[in-house]
């Protein structure tokens, strides 16, 4: 077996989970560092309104792309399942179906994103001073979204066989280019948020090209042959059955975050900027936890294909413990140095104070978010994709909407702190519901030893 591959169905679990997750964590951390560089360049050299414009678009971007990103998760689960089961032709069919599907997804997203950007921003109560800037950034971003889709589907295929090292190299290359282009476009050419948008699009195109080159050069079942590109109906149905619920789950979280962002927007540009900076920092902690969460997804999927439920149970416990430790330690460190870290993004003490109000609530409870995602991915990895959606609908989306429509509307609780408290409460509720479903499924799997992707 190649060095870039990991057989997750045999041998020690923690060391292999670590080998899989660490490159994935570094990939995400690099991406966050480069994104942070974007925000720093905009905040320092274009101003707080431009920073608020870019920051206010994150929840909308996630809302529009999460459905199709769910299909990339479906690709990972299906490919890993077949890889673990040793079904070579099915792996090959999954590769070609997934790449074609990524292109189709990107084209659809471009059309929807470009047409609906400004109307949705207006519905989100984006302040007048940032509305046009945010619309410019988003239209450029969605113009190149096909490349983002191709990269994410391609890297999902590589992760299915345990290869997280080469996607790390791709991200490093494209990220360095992104930072350089940001400096050139924003500082030298004074292109403001448009420069950030174009730098992002160009770097994503480079990522897409590189991941395609890797797949074309593969000599195993993951080899990509453009002449074989087609939507295999059976594989497509499996990807959709796993991926669409995952996408809808992401959409529900993003929808609730859009509502939260709208509530944040109502307090003005200062809170928007502070919230954006704090959110950017949170990503560093989340991505460390998410590396083990993604590991649970792929490990559980390979072992579901190999029909090893006892091993799945061990994977879940090891990943959960790892997530708790990472979330608690990193959360504490980021909170301790929060004022200094926020100062990187903005010189305004008011913006920093707004960011700290969010960090105090999020970082003391962030491990709950990681636990929720890890268990949700484990359930999805063993082939049950609907229940995590129901859990998210009840525990996250519905609860957050009710919270903002009731508690937040009370005069004494109409504060940013009340908005931010909706996060840890919703994470806890969703985790509890997921835990009930997981225990039910794992008992059934151990009893029958016949796990299947359904």
25 versus 223: the higher-pLDDT residue is 223
**Higher pLDDT pick, 228 / 383:** 228
Q: How far is CA 212 from the centre of its chain?
A: 21
Distance CA 288, CA 72 (A): 20
Q: Quick one: pLDDT band at residue 449, thresholds 50, 70, 90?
A: low
- Residue 233: count other Cβ atoms within 10 Å of its Cβ: 9
- Assess whether pLDDT exceeds 60 at residue 278: yes
Q: Are 327 and 367 in contact (CB under 8 A)?
A: yes
- What do you get for the CA distance between the two ends of the chain, in Å? 28
Question: Global pTM?
Answer: 0.78
What count of other Cβ atoms lies within 10 Å of the Cβ of residue 127? 17
Position 247 scores a pLDDT of 81
Closest CA to 296 of 371, 245, 391, 385: 371
pLDDT at 55: 73
Is pLDDT of 229 > 90?
yes
Helix (H), strand (E), coil (C) string for the chain = CCCCCCCCCCCCHHHHHHHHHHHHHHHHHHHHHHHHHHHHHHHHHCCHHHHHHHHCCHHHHHHHHHHHHHHHHHHHHHHHHHHHHCCHHHHHHHHHHHHHHHHHHHHHHHHHHHHHHHHHHHHCCCCHHHHHHHHHHHHHHHHCHHHHHHHHHHHHHHHHCCCCHHHHHHHHHHHHHHHHHHHHHHHHCCCHHHHHHHHHHHHHHHHHHHHHHHHHHCCCCCCCCHHHCCCCHHHHHHHHHHHHHHHHHHHHHHHHHHHHHHHHHCCCHHHHHHHHHHHHHHHHHHHHHHHHHHHHHHHHHHHHHCCCHHHHHHHHHHHHHHHHHHHHHHHHHHHHCHHHHHHHHCCCHHHHHHHHHHHHHHHCCHHHHHHHHHHHHHHHHCCCCHHHHHHHHHHHHHHHHHHHHCHHHCHHHCCHHHHHHHHHHHHHHHHHHHHHHHHHHHHHHHHHCCCCCC
Q: pLDDT, tens digit, for every residue of 329-372?
A: 999 999 999 999 999 888 888 999 999 999 999 999 999 999 99
Distances (CA, A) of 350 to 271, 343, 347, 361, 413: 8, 11, 9, 18, 21
pLDDT digit string, tens, across residues 48-84 = 788 788 777 776 776 667 767 788 889 998 999 899 8
Q: Is residue 244 over pLDDT 80? A: yes
pLDDT in tens, 115-132: 888 887 887 777 888 888
Rounded mean pLDDT, 276-298: 89
pLDDT digits (tens, 9 = 90+) for 134-185: 899 889 989 999 999 999 999 999 999 989 899 889 989 998 999 899 999 9
């Amino acid at each position: 077996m190649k060095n870039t591959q990991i057989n997750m169905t045999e041998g020690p679990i923690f060391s292999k989970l670590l080998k899989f997750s660490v490159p994935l964590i570094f990939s995400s951390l690099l991406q966050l560092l480069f994104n942070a560089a974007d925000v720093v360049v905009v905040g320092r050299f274009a101003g707080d309104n431009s920073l608020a414009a870019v920051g206010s678009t994150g929840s909308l971007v996630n809302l529009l792309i999460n459905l199709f990103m769910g299909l990339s998760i479906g690709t990972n689960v299906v490919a890993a399942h077949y890889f673990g089961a040793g079904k070579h032709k099915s792996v090959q069919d999954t590769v070609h179906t997934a790449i074609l599907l990524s292109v189709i997804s990107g084209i659809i997203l471009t059309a929807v994103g470009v047409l609906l950007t400004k109307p949705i921003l207006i519905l989100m109560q984006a302040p007048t001073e940032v509305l046009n800037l945010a619309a410019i950034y988003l239209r450029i971003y969605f113009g190149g979204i096909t490349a983002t889709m191709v990269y994410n589907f391609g890297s999902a295929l590589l992760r299915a066989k345990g290869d997280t090292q080469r996607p790390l190299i791709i991200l490093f290359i494209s990220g360095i280019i992104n930072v350089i282009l940001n400096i050139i476009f924003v500082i030298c050419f004074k292109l403001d948020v448009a420069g950030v948008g174009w730098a992002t699009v160009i770097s994503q195109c480079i990522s897409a090209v590189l991941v395609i080159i890797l797949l074309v050069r593969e000599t195993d079942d993951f080899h990509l042959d453009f002449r074989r590109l087609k939507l295999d109906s059976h594989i497509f149905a499996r990807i959709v059955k796993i991926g669409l619920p995952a996408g809808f789950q992401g959409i529900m979280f993003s929808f609730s975050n859009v509502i939260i962002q709208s509530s944040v927007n109502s307090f003005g540009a200062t809170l928007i900027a502070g919230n954006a900076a704090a959110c950017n920092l949170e990503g560093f902690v989340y991505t460390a936890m998410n590396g083990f969460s993604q590991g649970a997804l792929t490990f559980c999927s390979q072992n579901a294909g190999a029909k090893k439920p006892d091993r799945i149970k061990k994977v879940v416990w090891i990943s959960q413990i790892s997530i708790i430790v990472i979330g608690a330690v990193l959360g504490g460190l980021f909170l301790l140095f929060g004022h200094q870290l926020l100062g990187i993004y903005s010189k305004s003490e008011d913006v920093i104070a707004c960011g700290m109000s969010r960090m105090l609530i999020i970082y003391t409870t962030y491990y709950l978010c990681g636990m929720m995602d890890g268990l949700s991915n484990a359930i999805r990895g063993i082939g049950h994709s609907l229940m995590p959606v129901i859990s998210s609908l009840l525990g996250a989306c519905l609860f957050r909407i009710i919270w903002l429509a009731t508690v937040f509307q009370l005069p004494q609780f109409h504060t940013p702190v009340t908005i931010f408290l909706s996060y840890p409460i919703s994470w806890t509720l969703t985790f509890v519901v997921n835990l009930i479903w997981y225990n039910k499924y794992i008992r059934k799997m151990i009893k029958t030893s016949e796990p299947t992707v359904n």
